[in-house]
Amino acid sequence: MAEFESKGSSNFIRNIIEEDIRNGVFGGRVHLRFPPEPNGYLHIGHAKSICLNFGLAAEYGGLCNLRFDDTNPTKEELEYVESIKEDIKWLGFDWGDREYYASDYFDQLYQYAVQLIKAGKAYVCDLSAEQIKEYRGTLTRPGRESPYRNRSVEENLDLFERMRAGEFEDGSRVLRAKIDMASPNLNMRDPVMYRILHAEHHRTGDKWCIYPTYDFTHGQSDSIEGITHSICTLEFEDHRPLYDWFLDELKIHHPKQIEFARLNLSHMVLSKRKLLALVEGGYVSGWDDPRMPTLSGFRRRGYTPASIRNFCERIGVAKRESVVDIALLEHCVREDLNKHAPRVMAVLNPLRVVIDNYPEGKRETLEALNNPEDPGMGTRKVPFSRVLYIEQDDFMENPPKKFYRLAPGREVRLRYAYFIRCVDVVKDQNTGEVKELHCTYDPATRGGDAPDGRRVKATLHWVSAQHAIPAEVRLYDHLFTVPAPKEEDEGADFTAYLNPHSLITLKSCRVEPSLQGAAPGSRYQFERLGYFCVDAFDSSDGWLVFNRTVTLKDAWAKIKKGQGLNPA
RNA sequence: UGGGGUGUCGUCAAGUGGUAAGACACGGGCCUUUGGAGCCCGCAUUCGGAGGUUCGAAUCCUCCCACCCCAGCCA
């Protein structure tokens, strides 16, 4: 029998799981979980973890739970749990009825704590936060034992019960594990298990005024759920000995923890702190600003769930910290959208073109392919008339080498329409700005083919002036100008690298009439320009707003850059 | 100067003693009614460095170097 149908390349986590299955560890079961804290929005880094956990579970015929690690009522909110669930569903994963909360285990956790107290492995400590810090020692100096470390089991039990009963103030006492104040691993220097927090929890209300720390919750929660492999990020590697200690002292099911490196994306920041700073500093319009790396931002930008899943598969999983080039993500959306997005013509910066020899008042309906990649997507009608708009960038009065679009005297093809030749250029008297082009068309080239076999170097997109719909288009670009927007040594912080052109709003665009009534969120390819989607919030029946998801690969832009011309 | 990790192409990343996959990016070509898409070719004599073991090392050993994480009653 075939080993495992391996999707993508192998990685160390797959290797571990496969070996465990082979050896019958955990009875061959694979049960994973995605454990977010409901204190913020999910971003693409979380997507990596979601795809990993849910993907691995599906791959090995296992299960993946969704568990909210909600142990800190002062930071967590219902709004976040809702957004997290929505984003996971959008990404395409299903946790079935296995929606859990660490807070569901508060009673059990309390019992575990009592069990450790009774075993002489935990004690109530009256030291203040500052004192605990002092007693902890440093990286190179061992800590000192708390004077409360050797209280009797009875006293500890009594004090802990009274902590729970609300007799003490926040911060006045904590429950600590009695491990080793001299351990080189600071996590083992009698870590805090419970703290007093008179705060209302979004799920348990005011039932508790003591809350377990993450360290005393996470491992046991995985254990309670029968998780086999607890996949988490690198920074928890140092905590593993502590989780092992709790699980072993408690003598309960012991999942295997595996750590991997979190995702970093070039030209972007992914830390919660920085993302929050972007939102609060007004650098972006919110958590779902299309420039944000949040799943809600990508959704609004027009990214497809499939493209993000594919990206997460392709970046791989490893322990070395790395920065993935955002070009790979962009490649993944293009790849998906190229196959599925209907094509349409839209002119972002209109330049008026009058076809001199085309009858005034005449209108024709031309047929256009909805997707050359997929004939099954059919065709549509596009109106043509005497006055058109083309892209300003598609005309140059004095074209440089390699520019083979429209220029005085030059002939080009209008996509699905006719060959046209530029015969005159109307310019603003004062500014010299090109206001309008006069062209002639060749009636014999209807549809875009010349019966005499003559060729043109370029094909331009266009819209009929009187039929086109006005629209707003938002052009998005990388949020940062540098691959790794780090903190500067002095002065500037990471916001110094914000790209001033990350959003360009165009309000005099013209799109072909078939776009009338386009559904919010629907995605299109604007031929020769890129992929765009109807903004789900700002677009309405009367005013279409499009977000640029990603540009098409642009050979001309590259040439321009090579020639040192303004990339514009 | 404690402990835990990591170092393979510009960027990710396979590789687990038998003679460096793949992807993105990049360069070149073909094709083209999107300068899109697609297709083809090229792209690490070398795996952080230095020694060593071996017929043979990115893989084993030794030493060294660099980078990341840890001193929250955050997760």
Name the nucleotide nearest A141; use CA and C1'. B2
In angstroms, how far is B23 C1' from A56 CA?
20
Catalytic residue among A37, A225, A259, A411: A37
Tell me: pLDDT of A292 over 70. yes
Tokens 């011309």 label which residue? A565
The helix or strand, by DSSP H or E, that contains position A296, with its residue range, turns out to be helix A295-301
CA atom of A507 to C1′ atom of B71, Å? 54
Contact (Cβ atoms closer than 8 angstroms) between residue A511 and residue A468: yes
Chain B: bases < 7 Å from a protein Cβ: 1-8, 10-16, 21-27, 33-38, 67-75
How would CATH label the architecture of A17-260? 3-Layer(aba) Sandwich (3.40)
Helix pair angle (A44-59, A78-91), 10° resolution: 60
For A220, the token pair is 């046991």
Taking alpha carbons only, the member of A231, A297, A304 closest to residue A270 is A297
Distant-in-sequence, close-in-space partners of A141: CB < 8 Å, separation ≥ 6: none
Domains of chain A: which residue ranges? Answer: 17-260, 272-342+472-562, 346-461
**Averaged pLDDT, A224-229:** 98
HEC readout, A350-368:
EEEEEECCCCCCCEEEEEE
Rg value, chain A, Cα: 31
Q: Is the pTM of this model over 0.80?
A: yes
Is A262 a known active-site residue? yes
Could you check whether A17-260 and A346-461 share the same CATH topology? Answer: no
Question: pLDDT by residue (tens digit) across A516-565?
Answer: 999 999 999 999 999 999 999 999 989 999 999 999 999 999 998 888 77
Contact predicate A479/A499, CB 8 Å: yes
Please name the nucleotide lying closest to A174, CA to C1': B73
Protein A240 CA to nucleic acid B38 C1', in Å?
49
Share of chain A above pLDDT 90, in %: 94
- Please state, in angstroms and rounded to a whole number, the distance separating the CA atoms of residues A419 and A340: 29
- Which positions 351-380 on chain A have a beta carbon less than 7 angstroms from any atom of strand B? 371-373
In this prediction, residues A409-425 reach a mean pLDDT of 98
How far is A106 from A83, CA to CA, in rounded Å?
24
Read off the pLDDT of residues A25-64 as tens digits, 9 standing for 90 and up. 999 999 999 999 999 999 999 999 999 999 999 999 999 9
The third-level CATH classification (topology) of the domain covering A346-461 is Ribosomal Protein L25; Chain P (2.40.240)
Overall fold of domain A272-342+472-562: Ribosomal Protein L25; Chain P (2.40.240)
Section A443-454 average pLDDT: 96
Does the CB of A537 fall within 7 Å of any strand B atom? Answer: no
The pair of three-digit structure tokens given for residue A517, joined into one six-digit string: 């009534």
Of A1-15, A85-99, A405-419, A542-556, least confident by mean pLDDT is A1-15
Nearest nucleotide, C1' to the C-alpha of A173? B73
Q: Strand A387-391 relative to strand A434-442: parallel, antiparallel, unpaired?
A: unpaired
Assign A9 a pLDDT band (cuts: 50, 70, 90): confident
Q: Give me A98's structure tokens.
A: 């296995």
